[in-house]
Structure 1
Amino acid sequence: MPAMTVNDAPVMFDMDPETPLLWALRDAANLTGTKYGCGVGDCGACMVLIDGEALRSCLVTIAEAEGRTITTIEGLSRDRSHPVQQALVAEQAIQCGFCTPGIVMAAASLLRRNPDPSEADIREAIPNLCRCGVYPRLIAAVQRAGRVTRRRETISAAPAPGIDPADAARAVPAMGPASGGEADGGTTEPED
Structure 2
Amino acid sequence: MEAQANLAIRSYRTEKELESFHELFTAYYPFVVRQITRIVKDQQIAEDLAQDVFLSFYHTDRTVIDHIPAWLSKASLYAAYNYVRSEKRRNRREERVASEQTLAIPSSEQTWLAQSEIDQVRDVLAELDERERTLLLMKFSGYAYTELAKATGVETGSVGTILARAKKKFRSIYMRMRGEAE
Larger RCO: Structure 1 or Structure 2 (Cα < 8 Å, ≥ 6 residues apart)?
1
Q: In proportion to residue count, which structure has more strand?
A: 1
User: Is the structural similarity TM-score above 0.5?
Assistant: no
Which entry has the higher C-alpha Rg, 1 or 2?
A: 2
Give the TM-score band, short-chain normalised. Answer: under 0.3
Give the alignment's TM-score, normalised by structure 1.
0.20
